[in-house]
Homo-oligomer: A and B are copies of this chain.
Amino acid sequence: MNGDRQPQTRPINQRLKGDLPLTDAASAAAQIDSDATVLTSGFGSVGYPKRIPLALAESDRELSLTVVSSGNVGDEIDVSLVESGAIDRRFTYQSSAAARAATNRREIAFSDRNASSIGDDIQYGGLVDPDVAIVEAIAVGEDWFVPSTSIGQVPAFVEATDELLVEVNHRQPLEVQSLHDVYRPDAPPSRGPIPLTEPGDRIGTSAIGFDPEKLVGVVEADRADDTYSFREPTDDDLAIADNLGDFLAAELERSPAFEDEVHFQFGVGSLGNALMGELRSLEFGDRDVAYFGELIQDGLFDMLDAGELECASATALALTDEGQDRLFADVERYARDVVLRPTDVSNHPGLIDRFGVIGVNSAIEFDIYGNVNSTHVGGTRMINGVGGSGDFNRNALLTICALPSTHDDGEISRVIPMAFHVDHTEHDIDVFVTEQGVADVRGCSPIERAERIVDRCAHPSFETRLRDYLDDVRDQSAHIPHDIRRAAEWRD
């Protein structure tokens, strides 16, 4: 399995190389048209440009920007720049309180796409006509740069843009380069197969090349990522992890697909981090275990350190400060097993299928028939973008939706009669897990799914009300019986 996994030996040990258009953040920001379409690096709240967005936020120009990132970016963009009123239009993922509020007031026109496709959407799909890309790098030359702690859809963005601004961040260690595997699939409609045959393979480079004519400014920065902080696992988190563990143990026994190898993906967040950490307690026997996901969280490092995880592939490091310190202290050792890829590879539908991934993702809520809402509370108010959850929920071999059965201190059920915003359809999810139990709904008709979900996943304080709903609609002659007005009462 290790054949293609040696990190490339082309170390770059100079942050700035060649004849570069060095400038300061304010001057770089001043070059950007007031109504420009700006593509930025950044995914999992790391590896995004910091100083130029801040300079834009602090300028006294009237701005009406379109800002496109492929994943979550930090406060410099989704708080400061948002609060300065500079952003009119925003793609694709966002989740800050400020961006959420502006989006729900519809002051920001937010358009949400799956993380795997936003690169193609920009480069080929006519989604926007980009003017400038601002990317964070750890090093830059006249026609290349090395991305920092995330890759995202930056290779596509760099190909699509007219102009390029690079922020070289001295705070990000140069050794991060050894994690990267930059490979951009060919242009459609005649793409070759992506030649990745194992989750940890390397098929690309550590740098992203570009047409040197595009480079209009290089700004130096020294500013940390806006890293994650995870709460300690709650009792619910631990109960969910236990239930998930029991289910997975039985499934590993049952399925011939997992006889020799198991490939996981976990959604980001405190629960996802706790679940990743709990993986260690599973009995994998002789199986090779690998991670082929979107984000690497702290929870995986213990397994990597213990040699229990063959490799971890993702598009960004969604780490705490402590996790970043742990990685940065020994990045070249970790780079033997940790690979960062562009999102159109990390989240590629065909690769998720190829590696038979077991995907474990959270959501806001799910309904009794198995439809999942992961973006809009009550069907109307945006909480966050869909990110890569659709890529994994649709294409994983085994798709698990894991979340607590309630929120707001038990006041509100996350198991509801009808989801009024559907991000993942009844055709997608195989298994639902809450702290109450596991509903394996594979092969179930809608009404069987409903019975199983209410029985095994709902919180006892909502179970009776859900069962009453189900019993009362059951006399309808309908495949998926519903009383929509009554279902709507659950969101009041």
- A residues whose Cβ falls under 8 Å from a Cβ of B: 89, 91, 103-106, 109-114, 120-121, 124-128, 185, 187-198, 251, 254-258, 261-263, 348-351, 353-357, 371, 376, 379-382, 386, 390, 394-395, 397-398, 418, 420-427, 430, 442-445, 447-448, 476-482, 484-485, 488, 491
Contacts and interface: CB of A to CB of B under 8 A. Distances in A.
A395 B349 contact: yes
Nearest to A426: B112
A273 B466 CA distance: 44
Given A124-B356, A189-B263, A420-B484, A380 B478 contact: yes
A358 to B, nearest CB: 9
Interface centre among A106, A112, A356 (most CB of B within 10 A): A106
B380 A191 contact: no
B354 A127 contact: no
Contacts of A263: 189
Given A112-B426, A353-B348, A397-B188, A420 B254 contact: no
Given A443-B91, A481-B380, A189 B255 contact: no
A353 to B, nearest CB: 6
A439 to B, nearest CB: 14
B191 A128 contact: no
B382 A190 contact: no
Nearest to A399: B125
Interface centre among A103, A109, A188 (most CB of B within 10 A): A188
Given A111-B444, A189-B357, 11 more contacts: A89-B445, A106-B479, A125-B430, A126-B255, A187-B257, A188-B257, A189-B261, A190-B198, A191-B353, A192-B197, A192-B354
Contacts of A445: 89, 106, 109-111
Given A188-B397, A482-B420, A427 B390 contact: yes
